[in-house]
A and B are shown apart, each in its own frame.
Chain A
Amino acid sequence: MTTARHAIDVCGLHKSFGRTHALDGLDLHVGTGEVHGFLGPNGAGKSTAIRILLGLLRADAGAVRLLDGDPWADAVELHRRIAYVPGDVTLWRNLSGGEVIDLYGRLRGGLDRARRAELLERFELDPTKKGHTYSKGNRQKVALVAAFASDADLLILDEPTSGLDPLMEEVFRRCVGEARDRGRTVLLSSHLLSEVEELCDRVSIIRRGRTVESGSLADLRHLTRTSVTAELAGTPDGLSRLPGVHGLEVRGGRVRLQVDTDRLGPVLRSLTDSGVRSLTSTPPTLEELFLRHYQDDLPATPVEVGTR
């Protein structure tokens, strides 16, 4: 196993297909042994970035280090230490699932027979069925069993659970947890926020081929706003002048607002001064966090929403 601090180091990565700029200065740093969430709206460039990491596409510009190697030049050697699950698994129609699992195992330089059997059981996968008879979820299980049964240091998973049922998703989460416990690094591209929240130590959010946010979930939460709804005895005073207050709505004694989480204190003090009858404060949900980054017309800097 590598002793490097980072399993993946990507700086200023660019990749264009004709006139389309799929990646436009992407940065991605994944520490060794961490489970890293890779998030972004559809078409943000996640799969392109993953294919560059796998040496299937060639970067136009930027620096990429993967397990202390160059993913393009050292592709084959690096792949010995990588297991990959594509988002859309296609199998050969006349090969059985078991044959494909074993093929990938051998092509990767070996797989753990005991773990293979155990995983087949946990994922409830029938390995004797032919490729074209599997459902989408079962095709993904074939790739997942092959990946988790391998001894790879780095697991690259591109939306691996999009076809799994909730029970199987639970199995998947436990497998990722076990991989982390064995010291593996996992890059997990996903749209399931609960999955990301449960599994990931750190996340990177990309939009239009660029990293817009990166850090631990706690860090990211801190950057977002808390929603506050209050019913007051008197009329609130000076709320709109407080820093960090957004979307203030005042209807009689009823106040709704959003406030940057690190500016919550002064707002609460101001509300208390006006006599609080009831108060609800909702911490930012992950959805809000992501929606903020996913929304297309997001301005570069947050602007104050005027009072109506």
Chain B
Amino acid sequence: MTAVTATEFAPRRSGAGQLAGTGALVRLALRRDRVLIPVWVAVIALAVLSLPGALESMYGTAAERAEVARQMLANSSLRATYGPVFGDSLGGLVAWRIGVYAGLFAAIVSLVVVVRHTRDEEESGRQELLSSAMVGRRAPLTAALLTALVANAALALLITGGLVGQGLGPSGALALGLGTAGVGMVFATAAAIAAQLTQSARLAKGLTGGLLGAAFVLRAAGDAAESDGSSVLTWASPVGWLEHLRAYADERWWVLLLLVGAIAVQGSVAYGLAGRRDIGMSFLPTRPGPATGRLGTAGALAWRLQRGSVLGWGLGFLAAGVAFGGITGGATELVGDNERTREIIERMGGRSGLTDAFLGSMAGMLGMVAALYIVQSVLRQHTEETSQRAEPVLANVVGRLRWASGHLVIAFGGSVLLLLLGGLGLAAGYGGRSGAVIGACLVQLPAVWVIGGCAVLLHGVWPQAAPAAWGVAGAALLIGWLGPALNLPGAVMDLSPFSHLPELPGGPMTWGPVGVLTGLAVVLVAAGLAGLRRRDLLT
């Protein structure tokens, strides 16, 4: 008789078998992401590459640039928003204005891509079929990370090549490109860990997104505290490392080691976890639920499905509000108060009073993030429909309007809640003027609702294209964040609903645009619901 030893059942620790099939999985991932990745990479790269020309036309001479840099460096609120200015060359200004945001967006694409090809695949059951073929235990994770690497490498290449092509120095271009891609990969590997820990792709994305938000706020707080980025808070944030690379300001290449180190550590943790767990399972156990349920209406079901997400967003808004409020005080530190300064602030989308301008731009930022929430929440209907879970619900005594309204109340009502929480946080952090600050946050709502209305319309009338609502929100975000710096023509700026809002606090309250936007949102929602009633359910 052959002796069966325990070692025969021990998991294989190494060997190429663990990675078998990676190449095929990467090709599959790239095939599935053939639109998502190129569009994101192109949009981020274009945003970076359109800056040199725009900034040059605004600050043409070295003296002007030095003045801008000095002003920006002196103001802690602006440092919190964009990071400190390390170099007053054209390249230095480009790196300052976009660096943090390029990294932020690269991180978002990376985490979406990684979760999409790991936990999403397991949750849907597709991975099981793939893994029954010649696919190694760690191949799916490897393929997902390689796919994220392809996206980030393409981004680094475009940024570096594009900046060099516009005549900016190659070493700064390389630093900005590598730094952006590095931040992307840090969050790709963070998402890889989250995908091992949770059983839900939605939760994995939420956790990594929360981490990214925390990294952004840490950096903002650190930069508000110190003008040279030496704060320990900035060093604690991977997004902060990007500015510490000091592109176009005597690059500090060793900072890349931090990024590489974080990627390596997180990557190996994810790999360790991936090799030790069963497919479809996680390290967080699933608890049994109640044997009987209290859910009795489509609205209650919608709330049950979305309440975790609303809670997460709400906490995020409150925390971000407090943090931004806390750094607002520095807005008065601006050196001098001349025509030039005002213009700089106005370029940022600001208004006359500096503190007001800063509070206003923070409220605007919260509003644009709330637009992302409302799109996500409205599109939950689309997920329910495409996953076939809406079908049996609608086969009950539930009309389509009632089914949709449950989700819409959470989407539109949730946006009110989020901006209220953000406003409360902002007022608490700032320490005063609660009414004006909360009002400035709430006045964002009509614009948020218009974006939500676009999502309702798309889902109701052209459901196959419903995810394009993300594009609508993304476009409004880009116009808001980069429009003034890029000197976009008024007609383009006007495309974003946020451009029409009254400039609060400080500016006059204009009810006209608020009413028009709210009316537009109502029309969009009504048209979307009318479409939903008439069309076939997606099957």
Q: Are A103 and B291 in contact (CB under 8 A)?
A: no
Interface residues of B, count at CB 8 A: 36
Tell yes or no: A93 within 8 A of B by CB: yes
Q: Mark A84-105, 1 if CB is under 8 A from B, else 0.
A: 1010111111111011111110
A65 at the B interface (CB under 8 A): no
Q: Which residues of A contact B305 (CB under 8 A)?
A: 92
Q: Which residue on B lies nearest to A56, using beta carbons?
A: B537
Asked whether any CB of chain B lies closer than 8 Å to the CB of A82, the reply is yes
A residues within 8 A CB of B286?
Answer: 130, 132-133
- Please, what's the 1-or-0 string for A69-81, where 1 marks a CB less than 8 Å from any CB in chain B? 0000001110110
Say which residue of B292, B301, B395 sits within 8 Å of A79 (CB atoms): B395
Give A234 Cβ to nearest chain B Cβ, in Å. 60
**Interface presence of B398 (CB below 8 A):** yes
In the complex, the answer to whether B395 meets A129 with C-beta atoms within 8 Å is no
Cα distance, A164 to B286, chains bound together (Å) = 24
Task: Check if B292 sits within 8 Å of A98, measured CB to CB.
Answer: yes
B539 to chain A, nearest CB (A): 6
**CB closest residue in chain B, given A47:** B539
A106 B292 Cβ-Cβ under 8 A: no
Determine if A99 and B295 form an interchain contact, defined as CB atoms under 8 angstroms apart: yes
Q: Which residues of B are found within 8 Å of A127, using beta-carbon distances?
A: 291-292
**How far, in whole Å, are A128 and B291 apart by their CA atoms in the complex?**
5
Residue numbers in A under 8 Å from B287 (CB-CB): 130
Residue A193 at the chain B interface, CB threshold 8 Å:
no
Q: Is B123 part of the contact surface with A, judged by Cβ < 8 Å?
A: yes
Query: Which listed residue (B290, B388, B394, B397) contacts A128, Cβ 8 A?
Result: B290
Given contacts A57-B537, A129-B288, contact A76 B199 (CB under 8 A): no
User: Which residue from chain A places its CB closest to the CB of B202 in the assembled complex?
Assistant: A93
Q: Are B398 and A102 in contact (CB under 8 A)?
A: no
Query: Measured between C-beta atoms, what is the minimum distance from A297 to chain B in Å?
Result: 28
Interface residue ranges of A35-93 to B (CB < 8 Å) = 47-48, 51, 54-58, 75-77, 79-80, 82, 84, 86, 88-93
On whether the beta carbons of B394 and A132 are closer than 8 Å, the reply is: no
A128 near B288: Cβ-Cβ < 8 Å: yes
Asked whether B392 is an interface residue with its Cβ less than 8 Å from the other chain, the reply is: yes
- Known A-B contacts A56-B539, A57-B539, A79-B396; A93 and B199 likewise in contact (beta carbons under 8 Å): yes
CB distance A102 to B293 under 8 Å? yes
Q: B291: which A residues are within 8 A, CB to CB? A: 96, 98, 127-128
B392: contacting residue among A48, A58, A89, CB under 8 A? A89
Chain B residues closer than 8 Å to A207, beta-carbon distance: none
A106 to B289, CA, bound (A): 19
Which residues from A are CB-within-8-Å of B393? 104, 107
Per-residue CB contact flags for chain A residues 108-129 toward chain B (1 = under 8 Å, else 0) read: 1100000000000000000111
- Seed contacts A57-B536, A132-B199; 12 additional CB < 8 Å A-B pairs: A56-B539, A57-B539, A58-B535, A80-B397, A90-B388, A91-B389, A93-B200, A95-B289, A96-B288, A99-B293, A103-B296, A108-B397
